[in-house]
Structure 1
Amino acid sequence: MDLDLRLVRYFVAVADELHFGRAAAKLYVSQPALSKQIRRLEDQLGAQLLVRDTRHVTLTARGQQFLGEARRLLAIARTMQQPAQPDTVRMAHVFELDTSREVADAYAARFPDVALTEHAMDSAAQLQALLQYRLDVAILRISPRMLVDHPAGWEHRLLRLEPLVLVGGPTGGDGRAGTASLHEGPLDVFGDPPESGSYNAHGDYLRALERDLGVRLRWLGTPGAFSHCLARISRSAGRSRFLEFASYARRYAAHGLPLAWPREAQPYYPWSLAWRAEPPAPAVADFLHLALTESAARGWTEAAPGAAGPPWLPPDDPARSGTGDPTA
Structure 2
Amino acid sequence: MDLDLALVRAFVATAGTLHFGRAAEELNTSQQALSKRVARLEELLGLRLFERQGGTRLSEAGERFLPAAREALAAGERAVAAVTGAGPVVRIDTWGHLYAPMRTVADAVQALGSVRWEPGPGRDWPSVAGALLRGDTDLGFGRVHPLPDGRDAGLTQRLVRLEPVDVVLSPSHASAGADALRPADLRDSVLWCPAELSRLDFLGRFADEFRITRRHDGPNLGLDHFLRHLRDDPEAFTVFPADEPLPDHMGLHCVPLVEPTPLYAWSLTWRESARHPLLNTLLHGFTEAGRTRRWLEYDPHRDWLPDIDHPKLAARCRGGGM
Per the normalisation by structure 1, the TM-score is 0.63
Return the match for 1:291 from 283, 286, 289. Answer: 286
Is the counterpart of residue 242 in structure 1 residue 249 in structure 2? no
Is the counterpart of residue 93 in structure 1 residue 94 in structure 2? yes
Q: What SS does the aligned partner of 1:324 have?
A: helix
Contact 1:267 1:311 in 2 (8 A): yes
Contact 1:172 1:179 in 2 (8 A): no
- Mark the CA change 1:224 to 1:114 in structure 2 (over 3 Å): closer, same or farther: farther
Gapped regions of structure 2 (runs ≥ 5): 1-7, 16-49, 82-86, 317-322
Q: What SS does the aligned partner of 2:126 have?
A: helix
- Mark the CA change 1:267 to 1:217 in structure 2 (over 3 Å): closer, same or farther: farther
- Mark the CA change 1:210 to 1:127 in structure 2 (over 3 Å): closer, same or farther: same
Contact 1:130 1:137 in 2 (8 A): yes
Match of 2:262 in 1: 267
Deviation at 1:101, TM superposition (A): 2.9
What's the RMSD between the two structures over aligned residues? Answer: 4.0
Residues 144-223 of structure 1 mapped to structure 2, 5 A cutoff: 144-145=146-147, 148-152=150-154, 154-168=155-169, 169-171=173-175, 177-180=179-182, 181-193=185-197, 199-200=198-199, 202=200, 204-223=201-220
Residues 72-87 of structure 1 mapped to structure 2, 5 A cutoff: 73-79=68-74, 84-85=80-81, 86-87=87-88
Deviation at 1:225, TM superposition (A): 3.1
Return the match for 1:314 from 293, 300, 306. Answer: 306
- Mapped to 2, the partners of 1:209 and 1:80 lie a distance apart of 43
- Mapped to 1, the partners of 2:315 and 2:214 lie a distance apart of 26
Q: Percent identity?
A: 21
Is the counterpart of residue 116 in structure 1 residue 117 in structure 2? yes
- Mapped to 2, the partners of 1:30 and 1:283 lie a distance apart of 42
- Mapped to 2, the partners of 1:325 and 1:262 lie a distance apart of 27
Deviation at 1:205, TM superposition (A): 2.6
What residue identity is the alignment partner of 1:159? V
Gapped regions of structure 1 (runs ≥ 5): 1-5, 14-26, 42-66, 194-198
- Mark the CA change 1:37 to 1:283 in structure 2 (over 3 Å): closer, same or farther: closer
Contact 1:93 1:101 in 2 (8 A): no
- Equivalenced residues, count: 257
- Mapped to 1, the partners of 2:88 and 2:109 lie a distance apart of 13
- Mark the CA change 1:301 to 1:80 in structure 2 (over 3 Å): closer, same or farther: closer
What residue identity is the alignment partner of 2:103? R
- Mapped to 2, the partners of 1:36 and 1:258 lie a distance apart of 54
- Mapped to 2, the partners of 1:118 and 1:293 lie a distance apart of 21
- Mark the CA change 1:314 to 1:224 in structure 2 (over 3 Å): closer, same or farther: farther
Match of 1:24 in 2: none
Per the normalisation by structure 2, the TM-score is 0.64
Return the match for 1:125 from 127, 146, 158. Answer: 127
Q: What SS does the aligned partner of 1:323 have?
A: helix
Match of 2:106 in 1: 104
What residue identity is the alignment partner of 2:229? R
Q: What SS does the aligned partner of 1:270 have?
A: strand
What residue identity is the alignment partner of 2:261? Q
